Amino acid sequence: MISFMFLLLLAPDVLFSLTHVAMISPQDPIMRIGSSLTATCTLGAELGLHATSLYWTLNGARLSSSTYSIVSSNILSIELHSLNGSNQKSGDNLMCHRADGRILAGSCLYVGMPPDKPVNLTCWSHNAKDLSCRWRVGGQGETHIPTKYTLKYKLRWHERENECENYSSEKQGYSCRISAKIALFTPYEIWVEATNQLGAAISDVSSLDVLDVVTTDPPANVQVSRIGSLEDQLMVRWTSPTELKDVLFQAKYQIRYRLEDSTDWKAVDNVGNLTSCRLAGLRPRTVYFVQVRSNPVGIFGSRKPGIWSGWSHPAAASTPSGELLQRGSCDPKASEQNSTLRRELKQFFGWVRKHATGCSSMSIKLYDQWRVWLQKSHKTRNQ
């Protein structure tokens, strides 16, 4: 009857005095997809109408009279077979009308399926301060009727269950953030329960330690700068995430960079736990955009692979003008396999014997001085 009263608000031409003198039965039924339904519209005697003057609509579309049956002078029935899933969560509107189109009574049909087992439950902790989980609905996903998903969790050796409260819908499923105080060093058991008026289903239980699923904010203060007049290299520096300084961990980092007019990123995966990296083999006179992300591995000795943070905001710098001399990366082993680098190292040692005096050490600074000298030599020969 609540559904019918709502429909009356949407149809001001309905006589409110008729609210209790006509009724559809069953009222607001809940059925599985493919079910059949026989409904009746019963008129009050005071209406002075005959059942033969009535007609039915479903979601505003008039139903064929071949599905009607005259039960008595004041009762008109209809048979609906192989019902499809409801078009809207609020149900499909089945209406009984008098000949002039006015609504006499209404009922909402909820046609759907019980939920399937939720799948792909994954969880992560942001800076070890909270715990968020994401999952997808099981099977084909759509139940066509209101379905409630509840994320439940408990500490492994405790009986008390807790429910997550901060839900959000995503394009491919649902997520919930547990903002209550998070326990460390104690495994959690987490699962999702899906329920509607046709049934229930429970996901697999996920067991995890918060410190095994930590992710951080992206590295901060990412800066990209030139290395003197070296036209094929840039230096990238950044600051470690500060949120986990109270937790023992060893971060590893990854860099990606691209040309200003390109959407293709190149990755440098071998940065390790450094907070700076020299990019080599770049184009002269070119603007590069650079991003960095972090992975807090090894928290309190955890052997889990860790979860990458998002990428930092892009930082940009341009290489000086000049001639492209070499290709390289942050990985010295990979660079040593490059024949060009081996040839240049041989030239470098010859230059050191001639130009380095006293106790000069084999340092990056000395290498940079040689690169500048080599570039000037190239330019002098070209002129």
**For residue range 184-213, what is the model confidence (pLDDT) as tens digits?**
888 999 999 999 999 999 999 999 988 888
Is residue 26 reached through a cis peptide bond, with omega within 30 degrees of 0 on the bond before it?
Answer: yes
CB atoms within 10 A of CB 74: 17
C-alpha to C-alpha distance for 247 and 242, rounded to whole angstroms: 10
Confidence grade of residue 173 (pLDDT, cut at 50, 70, 90)? confident
Q: Identify the bridge partners of residue 109 per DSSP, sorted by sequence position.
A: 92
Listed range (55-64, 65-74, 281-290, 360-369) with the worst mean pLDDT: 360-369
Give the model's confidence band at 380: pLDDT under 50 very low, under 70 low, under 90 confident, else very high. Answer: low
Query: What would you report as the CA-atom Rg of the chain, rounded to the nearest whole angstrom?
Result: 35
CB 117 within 8 A of CB 136: no
**The predicted structure's pLDDT at residue 89:** 78
232 contacts 280 by C-beta, under 8 angstroms: yes
Computed over every residue of the chain, the mean pLDDT equals 81
Distance of CA 124 to the CA centre of its chain: 12
What number is the average pLDDT over the span 331-356?
A: 52
Q: Quick one: pLDDT band at residue 325, thresholds 50, 70, 90?
A: very low
pLDDT digits (tens, 9 = 90+) for 105-137: 999 999 999 999 999 999 999 888 889 999 998
Q: Does the pLDDT at position 305 exceed 90?
A: no
Share of the chain above pLDDT 70, in %: 75
Q: Which pairing describes strands 22-25 and 92-97: parallel, antiparallel, or unpaired?
A: unpaired
DSSP string, 50-115: -GGG-EEEETTEEPPGGGEEEEETTEEEEEE-SPPPPSSTT-EEEEEE-TTS-EEEEEEEEEE-PP
